[in-house]
Structure 1
Amino acid sequence: MKPIRLPEPPGSSPSMGGVPDIFEGGVYGVIRRAVIIGNGFPASENQSIGLVRALGLSEKQTLYRVTRPTGGINEWLHWLPLSVHKKLYYIISQIFGYSRILIARRGKKLGPLPRENGSGVGLASVLDADVKSIVRMAKETFEKDGPLLVVASGRDTISIASSIKRLASDNVFVVQVCALPFHRQRRMKKQAPYFCFSKIQHPRSHLERFDLVITPQHDYYPLSPLAREQVPRFLRKWITPQEPPDGHVVLTVGSLHQVDSSALRSAANAWHDEFAPLPRPLLVVNIGGPTRYCRYSTDLAKQLSASLHNVLTSCGSVRISFSRRTPEKFSNFVRKELGDDPKVYIWDGQEPNPHMGHLAWADAFIVTADSVSMLSEACSTGKPVYVIGAERCTWKFVEFHKKLREKGLVRPFTGLEDMSESWSYPPLNDTAEAATRVHKALAERGWRLRP
């Protein structure tokens, strides 16, 4: 099977003659740096980082992060807006003096307000997403460095990004990936020059707060007649968008990510010694975990294991990876059923993570239906992608899987496949297409990007 080459992500297109900036609007219209505002969730931050990479600014980016207090009573306060949560927690802690008895849940430790974003987890260099400091930096460095590109994603980044847009509209071009999601992000044990861009966590209303909103098509599923039949009228205001997408909403099929042709080539080189000798075809199995909209347990593990046994004869090698969301019962069952087969290797979760190596070297993928990000990354390779468990998904995930099948990106995994037979499709390039829309939106303002 020949590897499928992905098209290069779009970049800026400066004049071949190297026209000085002064003849193209000067430094005031050229964006050379980016700020990413994250929320601590890798799947969310990965989208912002992927977009900045596609825009050619990955070497000139600074990561800021919004943090919430954790542990104890804080586990019950995550539904509140970030600023309200912090203020309420501060008041409670002052009243009770950080009492482990009064405000900590039994068996849980109380997490203090973080003093340094990322401390304790090897991320001391990650800055706290403080609006005043970001606005001050954008204004003070504008004369020298030009405007600032801001990209944010996640529910907790909405107020931060919209405040920057309001306070620094003459100095910041926020391609902000910031918006209010349709559903709460579940915690795991783990105008003008400001161009606001919101990709995955889509806002329900007031889209004018942002210059550009990027979100998957299925996030508008709640506006469909079928979805409205499923949602009581008094709840629609809270879980559905208030208006259909307008001209500054960019709709993608899946999620944004960092996987492009350059990344895959680098990964192929980095993992050559481990993957090149493996018997072909190489089948990679990526297993996520049950979610609110895709519920399953060991029943799916049994189905997956049985189907994998059926296709082993047409596989040269099989590599299986679990995510942090995979239930222990699920992973244990798969290990028990397949762990002793000489063709099968199950990653133990220890570093280095072979995920990029898998994407680069696999001949085909099997992915559980719960993960939009894993499916989006696999479909960006143009290689065969089989999905298991899609029939167990509900709500907008049904629309997501329907769109993947209609585009010929995925097929259901039945266990009757011959893995030596390959098929392909135009790779899913949501990140590159989103970057193209960013360039277009900037050009409409008379601005441009120069990495």
Structure 2
Amino acid sequence: MRPIRLPEPPSGPVGMPEIFEGGLNVIRRAIVIGNGFPGAENQCLGLVRALGLAEKHTLYRVVRPRGGINEWLRWLPVSLHKMIESVIRRISGDSQFGGSIQSRRVFPLAAQNGGSVGLSSILEADAKKIASLAHETFEKEGPILVVASGRDTISIASSVRRLASQHVFVIQIQHPRTRLDRFDLVVTPRHDYHVLSPSGQQEIPQFIRRWITPREPPSRNVVLTVGALHQADSALLRLAALNWHAELAPLPKPLLVVNIGGPTRHCRYGADLAKQLAVSLHSVMATCGSVRISFSRRTPQKVLLWNLVIIPKVYIWDGEDPNPHMGHLAWADAFIITADSVSMLSEACSTGKPVYTVGAERCTMKFSSFQKTLQENGVVRHSQEWRICLIVGVILPQRYSCSCSAGS
């Protein structure tokens, strides 16, 4: 494989870095392969932004057939899923698949708060077409950086590298579980290796340990991160602050932002945790200037805190566009976030503002390891602490001003 040099991150606060000199093998463009989930695709876009290629990339998306029996086939690899769907379609006719996604469809790209990726559409990912593009344009434009994230993108990204290894540099984000040598680089959070730690081994029954991945320690082409990659860098936050100035700047301070995700297999909670959070918010409302609450697509109805909407200083986002998430990151004085969301916690912690977690004690396996790492690094505090730290209308900086403990 010919050597391919990755671009250096931008050196200035704004604008593109001077990375496009130095020969044929310097990367000047990127392809992002997404799976349709913001938590995965934002990691790819965040890496592309960090390398200064925000305006020099194309977004592709792995497309699964949908509707009817396809909902029962989603556990299969994408290629096998499509093959079975095609066979069933020929046997039973198209009428059974009215809701499925046709091939070669172009998907609209929703605008993102705080900026745009500069695209009007998302193309369906096809390994052969991407590899052909890399071959045909290499002499004129140089190699392509391919960044992918999510289970459905693994086979596409690895196939692109196999078909065009001389003309691409492939980065897979999140642990692909097997055969890490299929990629030039794997970027994965450290807690994905929780199963190799002593505590992780204790949580896994011995008879299934051999089936648990990852089974190997990090190799030379693996980069471990504390949390998830994301796009919320200083430049994007400055832009979001401007875009949301009219709505968020006049709010009484301190502004407390509450981000609520949804229960997962390893981070279970329900209406009981929602009730606990609502009671705690009521107890600090007098010392808080304003509260804004956002929910994710995974939040179940029973967790919604609609009983807080009657309080004038509380605003609950109704899920309609525009999404205030980037504005909240820019303008919040502190965050309260449910422990299930690695992405939301990673973004909030990167701002340097106080971050408090709710439900961390209910997490197991790698989610528990992630929470422990954040607390050991002093970037988050337990949910019991923020009730005490929100005093006299001031949110104290968590790193040095608030020494209260859970038992205070």
Which TM-score band applies after superposition, normalised by the shorter structure? 0.7 to 0.9
Counterpart contact for 2:9–2:51, Cα < 8 Å: yes
Offset of 1:153 from its aligned partner?
0.7
| Residue aligning to 2:335 | 365
**1:279-304 Cα deviation digits (max 9, x unpaired):** 11110111111111111111011000
Task: Confirm or deny: 8 A CA contact 2:329 2:348 kept in the other structure.
Answer: yes
Structure 2 distance, partners of 1:87, 1:223, is: 36
Query: Which runs of structure 2 are paired with 1:343-422 in the superposition (5 Å)?
Result: 343-414=313-384, 415-419=387-391, 420-422=394-396
| Structure-1 residue corresponding to 2:60 | 64
For residue 234 of structure 2, what is the aligned residue in structure 1?
Answer: 261
1:10 aligns to 2:15 (yes or no): no
Secondary structure at the counterpart of residue 377 of structure 1:
helix
d(CA) in 1 for partners of 2:232, 2:110: 25
Counterpart among 196, 199, 203 of residue 173 in structure 2: 199
**Contact in 2 for aligned 1:116/1:124 (Cα 8 Å):** no
The 8 Å contact of residues 184 and 221 in structure 2, kept in 1 or not, is answered as: yes
The answer for the alignment partner of 2:306 in structure 1 is 335
Map of 1:33-432 to 2, 5 A cutoff? 33-98=29-94, 100=96, 110-118=99-107, 125-172=121-168, 174=169, 196-200=170-174, 202-331=175-304, 334-336=305-307, 338-414=308-384, 415-419=387-391, 420-425=394-399
Q: Which runs of 5+ in 2 are unaligned?
A: 1-7, 13-17, 112-118, 401-408
Structure 1: which amino acid aligns with 2:389? E
Given that 2:63 and 2:101 are in contact with CA atoms closer than 8 Å, whether structure 1 keeps it comes out as no
Report the AA paired with residue 220 of structure 1.
Answer: Y
Distance 1:136 1:10 in 2: 28
- Partner residue of 1:184? none
Structure 2: distance between partners of 1:20 and 1:340 = 55
Instruction: State how far apart, in whole Å, the 1-side matches of 2:381 and 2:256 are.
Output: 15
Q: 1:112 to 1:359 in 2, by over 3 A?
A: closer
- Cα distance in structure 1, aligned partners of 2:269 and 2:52: 40
Pair 381,99 (structure 1): closer, same or farther in 2 beyond 3 Å: same
C-alpha contact (below 8 Å) 1:387/1:411 kept by paired residues: yes
Question: CA separation in 1, counterparts of 2:19 and 2:368?
Answer: 50
Q: Which runs of 5+ in 1 are unaligned?
A: 1-8, 175-195, 427-451
Q: In 2 relative to 1, CA 114–300 (structure 1 residues): closer, same or farther, beyond 3 Å?
A: farther
| 1:143-198, Cα deviation, whole Å (9 max, x unpaired) | 111111111111111111111111111111x2xxxxxxxxxxxxxxxxxxxxx222
TM-score, normalised with respect to structure 2: 0.87
Which amino acid is 1:71 matched to?
Answer: G
Q: Give, in whole Å, the separation in 2 of the partners of 1:80 and 1:88.
A: 10
| SS of residue paired to 2:286 | helix
Aligned to 1:430: none
Q: In structure 2, do the counterparts of structure 1 residues 374 and 119 end up closer, same or farther at CA, with 3 Å as the change threshold?
A: closer
Deviation of residue 115 (structure 1)?
Answer: 3.9
Calculate the TM-score normalised by the size of structure 1: 0.79
Aligned counterparts of 1:167 and 1:115: Cα–Cα separation in 2: 21
Deviation digits for residues 234-293 of structure 1 (CA, Å, limit 9, x no counterpart):
533443212011222111111000001101111111111111111111101111111111
Pairs aligned (count): 377
- C-alpha deviations, 1:394-449, integer Å up to 9, x for none? 111110000000000000122333251421559xxxxxxxxxxxxxxxxxxxxxxx
What secondary structure does 1:279 align onto? coil
